[in-house]
Amino acid sequence: MSWLTNLKIGTKVLLVTCFLIAVAGLIGLASLETLFRSEDLVQQMQDAANRSIYGERVNAMIYAVVMDSRGIYMSKDTDSAGKFAPGIASNLDALQQNMTAWHGLIDPADAEVFDKAQADADQFVKVRSELARLGTQEAPQKARDFGQSCQSHGLRQRDRPACQKQPRTHQRHPRPA
């Protein structure tokens, strides 16, 4: 340390300045790293929120289709049942569009759970489309019998919980980078 005391004042000022510049550079690098990490976390949080929104939209579409299906069940003839079929068709289309958009936000770790929900949603669309067809082209009684059959009832009980569980799966906190 004796070499430091032997330096001229100008050299000492230059050394202190260089040291402070180096410290400022290190602080700047740490700040940039934190900024990039926070941007990643914000993106993960936005994706999680969007996954939850899509899940809730799908859930709402399922409930809307079920309510319109009940309208077909209660109808006296195909003409009165025909009022409910467009609602079923449009809500099933919206359900499929939401499932497609939702799929793009799924984390690879959750792909298996989502694939199960997608398969359940596809089966739900198939069954409810057939129910609407039966109610409007054949007879509401046939649609009611089909809708209340063991197969359809089993699907209804199985599909709804899978689609309701999916949004909660995606509400968990973002994973650290």
pLDDT at 1: 65
| CA distance linking residue 144 with residue 159, whole number of Å | 19
| CA distance linking residue 117 with residue 160, whole number of Å | 9
| CA distance linking residue 166 with residue 103, whole number of Å | 12
Angle between the 111-133 and 85-103 helix axes, to the nearest 10 degrees? 170
The model's pLDDT over 112-154, given as tens digits with 9 standing for 90+, comes to 888 999 999 999 999 999 999 999 898 888 888 887 774 555 5
pLDDT above 70 for 156: no
End-to-end C-alpha distance for the chain, whole angstroms: 43
Q: Of 85, 36, 69, whose CA–CA distance to 159 is shortest? A: 69
Domain residue ranges in the chain: 1-38, 47-169
Residue 174 per-residue DSSP state = P
pLDDT at 173: 45
Q: What is the pTM of this model?
A: 0.68
Q: What's the pLDDT band for 107 if we cut at 50, 70, 90?
A: confident
Whole-Å CA distances, 168 to 13, 48, 56: 60, 10, 9
CA atoms 114, 115, 120, 122: torsion sign = positive
The model's pLDDT over 19-78, given as tens digits with 9 standing for 90+, comes to 999 999 999 999 999 888 898 899 889 988 998 999 899 999 999 999 999 899 888 888
pLDDT above 70 for 79: yes
Query: Are the C-beta atoms of 78 and 136 separated by less than 8 Å?
Result: yes
| CA distance linking residue 110 with residue 120, whole number of Å | 16
pLDDT at 150: 43
